[in-house]
Amino acid sequence: MFERIAAKMKVLVINAGSSSVKYYLYQMPGAEVLARGLVEKIGEETSALSHYYHGKIHTITSKVKDVQKAIELILQTLADKEVGALQQISEIGAVGHRVVHGGEEFTDSVIINEKVIASIKKFADLAPLHNPPNLDGILAAQHHLPNVKQVACFDTAFHSTIPKVAYMYALPYELYEKYGIRRYGFHGISHRYVARRAAAIMGKGKYDINAITCHLGNGCSVTAVKEGESIDTSMGLTPLEGVPMGTRSGDLDPAILFYLAGKGYDVNELNTLCNKQSGLLGLSGISNDMRNLQECARKGDARAKLAIDVFCYRIKKYVGAYAAVLDTVDAVVFTGGIGENSVFMREKICNSVTQIGVQLDLTKNKDAVAKEAEINTKDSKVKVFVIPTNEQAAIANDTYKLANGKQPIVSKQNPSGNIAQEHMETLHGRKG
* Number of residues lying near ligand AMP (CB under 6 A): 12
Q: Which of 108, 136, 155, 398 is catalytic?
A: 155
Q: Closest residue (Cβ) to ligand AMP?
A: 337
Q: 158 or 334, CB closer to ligand AMP?
A: 334
Determine if 337 is a binding residue for ligand AMP (CB under 6 A): yes
136 part of the active site: no
- Could you tell me which residues come within 8 angstroms of residue 298 by beta carbon, excluding any fewer than 6 positions away? none
Q: 17 or 337, CB closer to ligand AMP?
A: 337
Pairing of strands 9-16, 92-99: parallel
- CA-based torsion, 268, 221, 117, 177: positive or negative: negative
Determine if 217 is a binding residue for ligand AMP (CB under 6 A): yes
Stretch near ligand AMP under the rule CB under 6 A, chosen from 139-147, 254-262, 289-297, 358-366: 289-297
The b-or-e profile of 84-100 (16+ CB within 10 A means b, else e) is bbbeebeebbbbbbbbb
> What's the residue count for the chain?
432
The whole-angstrom separation of Cα 277 and Cα 282 is 5
Largest pairwise CA distance in the chain = 64
Binding mask 346-375 for ligand AMP (x = CB under 6 A): ------------------------------
Determine if 250 is a binding residue for ligand AMP (CB under 6 A): no
Residue from 17, 336, 417, 432 binding ligand AMP (CB under 6 A): 336
Residue from 80, 91, 289, 301 binding ligand AMP (CB under 6 A): 289
Determine if 341 is a binding residue for ligand AMP (CB under 6 A): yes
- Could you tell me which residues come within 8 angstroms of residue 254 by beta carbon, excluding any fewer than 6 positions away? none
How far apart are CB 340 and ligand AMP at their closest, in Å?
7
Is the Cβ–Cβ distance between 96 and 403 less than 8 Å?
no
Q: Which of 34, 31, 32, 15 shows the shortest CA–CA distance to 23?
A: 15
Catalytic residues: 155
Binding footprint of ligand AMP on the chain (CB under 6 A): 217-218, 246, 289-291, 294, 336-338, 341-342
